[in-house]
Structure 1
Amino acid sequence: MTRWSSTSRLAPEGAPRSHSSAEDFELRAALEESSRRRAELVQRLREARGHLDAQTDLLKTKGSQLQQNQSISNVLEMKHKQLSEAVSALEQDKEAAELSRFEESRRRGELHDKVLQLELDILKMRSNLERRSPPTSPNPLNKTLPAAKDQTLQEGQRQVEKEIKKLREALREAEERTDNLEYEKDSALRQLHSSEESKQEAINQAEQLEQRLSSSIKAQKELEDQLNDACSRLGQMELEKAELHQRIQALDLQLQMEQRSKQGLSEQMCELHSELSQAKSQASKQKKETVLMKEELLSIKELNEKLSSDLTKATERLQVTLNQLHELEAEKLIQTNQITALETERLQLIGEKEEMRKTFDDGLHEKMIELGERCCQHRELQDNLEEENQTLRLKCQDLEKKVQILEAEHKHKEEEQQLMRAGFEREKEELKKLAAHWNERWLDVAMTLCSTQTELDELKSQQRGNDNREPEVPLDACKRQIEPERDQSHVQQRLMSNSVSLEDMNGELVELLKVRDMLKIRDIEMEEQLQELQSARDQVAQQSAEVQRLKQLLGKKDQEIKEKDQDLKNLDIQRITEKAEAQIKISALEQEIFGHKGLQLREEVDSECSHEDLVSVKTLLEESRRRAETLEQERNRALQKLQDLELLYQDKTEKESPPETKKQKPVSSDFVDPNQQRRLVTEQLKSLFREREQRGERSPVFPRTSGLVENGVQNDTSIKNWNTVDTLNHQGRKTQKLEQELQQGAAKRSSSQIPVSHGGSKRSEEGEKQKQPTNLKKHNKTIQFD
């Protein structure tokens, strides 16, 4: 009663005790929930163990089935051996039958010889008897022959007939034996044929069985691989199960510690009650004790708060473990699905075996042969494709050599054309001089002809005037008639001289026509040569296009190989990062579960793991830097090649385009300046390399992770490892893009240079062709004018 009264009096002061009781209730509820969850976890683990046991039983049944299949295959092999032994025994029987047949034929020949001899003896006996027989005429002496001789002859004949009968019976028996032997021989041959057929069938069955055995062995190997995978997964599951058991034990220990702390709190509460009862008796010490009690209550509150936080953490951990258990259950479901899939595959294989048997029974062996032939054809096609690839590479090399040879020939022909052009220009200048000379001569002749025509007109007019004046003044007319006759004689003399000069001009005109024909022939030859050069250039362009196409194919194949290498490297990086993540997760869970000592040990382990990851990341960074250096070297080489190609292009354009053709070239709107293309390509390359350099300047963040890892900060290291992997992947992609753009730029440059060179040469040829017709037109005009 005193205790109850003391507690009732101290009710206002002990207000926080109700809070502590509520916290105790919450702790009890949390403990009950944890125990319930623990029981659920244990039950789930038992169920998982049962599932695993069932899986092991299934695997054992599959192993027993495999053993049965092996025993069946062994039995089939024994049957095959027995069949081979039976076939060998039949062959031996065949040989023995052939020997017996040979002996019987020999005996038959001997009997036949004996029968022939007996028949000869009988014939001799008959001939002797006929000789001894009496003549047809009755002879009394014959009647007197003794009866003994007749009896002896009759007895001899009887004996001979008996022997003949015996021999005939022996012959019949021998013939019957030979017939029997022939029948047995035929039956033996039939048996041999049937045995051979059965042997062939047995061989075919053995081949089928071997094929089935090979397929079953393959299936067994696949099943064994799957079993090994399943066993490895089961081992991993068992390890995870052991880890979960350890975690559950650690949680049990934590719960026991919490229960002990709770018991300690209850004991403290009892002690506080006793102290309060003592405080009633000691009023002087009550204030001090109350202060102490308040302080202790505050400490208890703090402890309760700590315990509540620990409980929340424990609940979170339990939730994490539950999530892990759910994941494990999902993995178990996946494994069960895989096992069911394997069982379905096994059933499918069994069905396929039955179908194969049915197909072999139905005569579908031809389809298998066709499939084998198709496989062989596919292999041959693959080999042919590889050979074609090699031949294409060889053709590329040959085409490159031919292109080089054609370029050399083209240069040689261009030099010859330049020499021919110089010769033609000289001839043109000479012809121009000749034309100017002959033009002057023709002008002189035309002037003389004009003067003679004017004189003739004047003479005609004078003659007409004289004719009109004849009746008036005859004497003057006579004088005047004499004067025009003189003038006519002078004119005739002049015309004769002019006719001589006209004949000379006609000869010179004939020579000029011959020269013109020669020039036409030369122009035709030049046009033919230009057409040949143009065809050769077209061939060179086609070959260069083929070379470029083959180079593009090779570049695509190289790009595919590089992409595969990059994918493999990315997979390696992903594996490393996954390992690092798994190790980081394991270390975090172990840190949360175990105490400070375990934390220190795990920090060392994590630092070692992160150090290994950093070493791998550093190696990857070194590889990326090496790639960047190689790309810079390739860029410098590409720039040098571009400069060399620009110089060569300028030299070619200067050689191919003379000053006269440059003036006559029309400015095409579709033509793009290659210098602008090169500038654009170089600017793009510079921008890409600047971006890569900026990203490379940002990348030095990676080495800082090692120091942080050594200090034990693992979350930061994981984040930075992810960043390094992302940056490395990004750098790998950028390097691939740069390589692709470099290849495309080189292809564009080569394609732009080829049409430009062809365009310059074509334009120069067109300019020369335009010049030649204009000169010929001028020459023809001068001739027509003359």
Structure 2
Amino acid sequence: MSYRLSNGYVSLPSRYGVGDSYQHHVDAGRRSPRWNSKDLGSNRHGRESPRLYGLSELERNIEAAGQLESDNWMGHSKEYSRRPPSPWQTDRSRSVSPLRGIHTLDCYSKQPVSSEYTRNVSSPSLSRRSSVSRLSTWSPEECGMEAPLSRRGWSGSEIDLRASLSESAQKRSDLVQCLREAQSKLEEQSEELKKRDKELEMSRAKTELLAVKQKQLESSISELEKEKGWLEVSRFEDKKQRGELQDRIINLEMEVMLAKSSLENFNYTNELMNQKISVGNDEVNRELKTARENLVYFRNRVKILEAEKNQAVEELRKLQEGSQLALSQTNEANQRATETLRTHQNLQDELADLQLNFNNINLEKELLSSKVLRLEEKVSDLTLRLNVSQTDRERYLKEKLELHRRTQELSLELERAQRGREGFNDQVSDLHIELVGAKAQANRQDQEKVQMKEELVMLKQVNEKLTTELGQIQTSLKNALEELHHTQAENKISSNLAAALEAERKQLLEEKQTLMAVVENEEDSENIKELRASCTHLQEERDRLQARCHDLEVTLDQAHEQLGSQIQEQQQVILYWKERWQQTAVSLKNTEELLDQERAQFQKAMNKNTELLQDCEMLQTENEELCELRSTISRLEDENNQLTKKVKELEQSNHLEHLHRSLKESTGETDEMRELYRELQKSHETIKELEVERSDKELEMRKLKSENGSVLRIELDACRQQLELEKSRREILQCRVGELESKLAAERRGQDYLVEIQSSVTQSQSLERLLEKEREAKKQKDELIFTLKEELEELKRKKSGDFKASLEEVDSELMLVREELQKVWDMLKTKDSELEEQYHELESARDQYTECSTEKIRLEQLVSSLQKQMEEKEQAMKHLQHTRLEKSEMSIEKSSLELKMAAMQDQNGKDFSLNIGSVSHNELNSPTGCQNDKSLHQCSRCDVFLQQLDKAIKGCQERNVELQEQKNQALSSLYQLQDILKDLTKQTKVNEQVAQALQTDNETLKNQHRLVTEQLKGLFKEKQNLTNAYKKIPQEEKPADDWAEKSRLVKNLLRSVKANKEQSKDKEDIQEDFPVPSTEVTEKDINKLQRQLEEKSEKISTMASEIKMLKEKNESLMKGWYQ
């Protein structure tokens, strides 16, 4: 090269051209198809500073060069076929091709040295038209997708290239389709997010409405409680009045006794007067006058007492009617309270459902947002990879162009060396330099081999890690088997529990036998029947326990089957995830082409941003409208303040001290209040309209935010803050409106109080009228009493002894009636106490039912979450299977590459080492190295992912154990609820029996029997107490007193028996104390007694009717509480 530059050497032209045509002059030089300058000398001297070409121009020049060079090569082969090629020429011809790695191994090992070599050059290797001209069209994606050309066995024809191009086109189309599907999925997810946002807003509105309804219900409940308090106060007053009436009756009886004693004294004085007639007529006359005056006085007194007695009877009837009305009112109040409680519970259930839906929607929204963020991260990673691949592509193209230039230069130098011997030394020096470069490349190739060996060691380590992971999976399976054994042990424990329950049942049977012995001593057949019924009940429960044990065994078998199916499903999931990992790797490689399309979409997005700026201007106008709305809201606030002031003035004017005076003025004020209420309603409607507009604007703002991105976020945040301020103001307005409504309600109550006062005034007037009528009736009764007293005096004179007997009978009858009334009163008290206890039990049962319903909902949620977790586990296992399959494929590919490299070294030897060096240089520049690095990176990710999966599987197993425990707890709570419901049904039966017992005469006995039956039904509840008490009982027989000291049930039985005996003794004593009178009775006395008996029978009939009314009321109360 130095000789050429110093002497200005120019190669000689050839005199033998194609078709016997003359070549160019020496000064002009020979035009080579790849030499783009006009002068040969200028090109040779200007080679060190060549002109920089564009990619498109270079590709065109390469294609034109491929066409012309093939023709020139054929022509020159005819010229130089006469003499054999030199060894330098053969070596140079081997290094000329720019695609040394594309040719097969046969073409380098078996090259002819004869003259026919030049004619058959195109047969063993690729033509320049099919190799060099097509290199610029190949993309780096195709080089990354398939194995490099140096590692494939090409047949040397254009068919393979076309097949590879068709495959690359198909893969590009698949990539385009995948990215389109991903884009459609993203759009669907955004639409779902919008829908979920709308649903969230609807649920929030529903929750607000439910909160308002709940407040209304609470206010109504408070009003009902107030009414209940008033009713209790009225009932207490009625009780006081009844006590006062009883005191009056006692006083009347005392006065009657005094009158009787005075009459007896009078009769005694009359007898003394008859004996002492001889004493003196003067003293007799005086005593007669005093006696007559006393008689008149006592007659008047008897009339007054009878009138008071009649009044007391009438007041008793009125009090009974009042008590009936109070009971009816209490029934209605209780029904209202139950209805309000039901509505309150329904609203609470609806609130709970809405809150659950709201939480589920929030969770789904968070999941979708996390998925979107993941996709955005993946897109960013793909963009980075695209940029890297583009830079690599540009670098590869530049290197290819440099290689083409070098090949052109070398081809020109070879032609010049063949035509002239003068530049031979320069060419030899160039070849020496190239040989040194080839040796350096061979050394690099050795280094690459060492690196490949290290990578194989790394892969072996990865395989060892995978084996360890398999061992961990096996340990997890062993843990699952241990859990199965644990469940079997639990089954054994349940069987032991069943045996313990049977032992307890035996103990209970022994206790039953002891109780039967106690009952047989007292000869009470009814209690024996009830104990037999309890025995049958115990047998039924034992059968239920056995059925439950059988069900538990069936559930255990099902759990075994489910575990086996879960193991199989996990294996299937592992395989699925292996396949999925392969697909994702392919899709990641294919997404690089679609990023160009995303750039075009980015330009479209820029155009959309310009449109969004216009929308921002529209938003500014809408903000102005919002300012106008704020001004309207402030105006409404001022109006509300004015209304509050007016309400305060009205409260001051409507004071209770001026109720009677302001009746006429209140009509005008009520009209004003109605107008104010209408204005408030209008303000409510305007506020609702503003809220609707605000919600619409929020939706528009969200849409704009989703479309615009980060440009309008600041403005939208400012608008959001303004909307939050408006929300706070609206809440303040709502509070003020609520205060105004409460004040209006207080004023309405005052008006109602005025109306009640007016009604009370009218009632007082009607009562005054009734008093006047009663006074007239009293006068008539007084006249009748006076006549009756005269008749009584006559009868006393005639037959004083008979009259005494009749008075004693009347007293005894009055005492009996009084005792019956006390008994009825005691019965009513006991019924009230029983009803209160039943009401408390019903409330506790309702609370338990609500708790069970909430637990059921929670369990359903847990089941749904577990199903989701199982699905996620299946996906993770499939992903693992996919990764493992990829690792196995990579190891197989690497082993095949090592075998190919060994075969190439054996066949080619030292002569072929240069070509291998060039091939290794191309492989280093090719993207396959990047692909291997990516595969290693992917394997490290797989390790991390496998560790996460192991942790997730362990957590899922722990969750399954927890869920099984929760299921067992739920089943136990359900069984407890069933027992409680059974007890409630039994209590209803007992209450029906109590209602029927009111018609019979032996009420106390039947009540005691029912108490005994209830105690026997509560035997299971007192099981522990009984076992603790009976542990100390010896085997010898003991009297009934010892039993009474140890068990409650026996004490109650003995008490009931003793009470029955005492009642029978009391009845016998009463019969002995009141014998039948043996005196003779006249016809008039018989008629009087008959009348008294009729009156008593009427009283008894009235009492029976009252008892029936009470019975009906009790039944209605029971029905209301059970409803």
Asked if Structure 1 and Structure 2 have the same fold, meaning a TM-score greater than 0.5 normalized by the shorter chain, the answer is: no
Per the normalisation by structure 2, the TM-score is: 0.21
Per the normalisation by structure 1, the TM-score is: 0.28
Could you say which structure has the larger radius of gyration?
Answer: 1
More helix by share: 1
The higher relative CO (CA closer than 8 Å, separation ≥ 6) is in 2
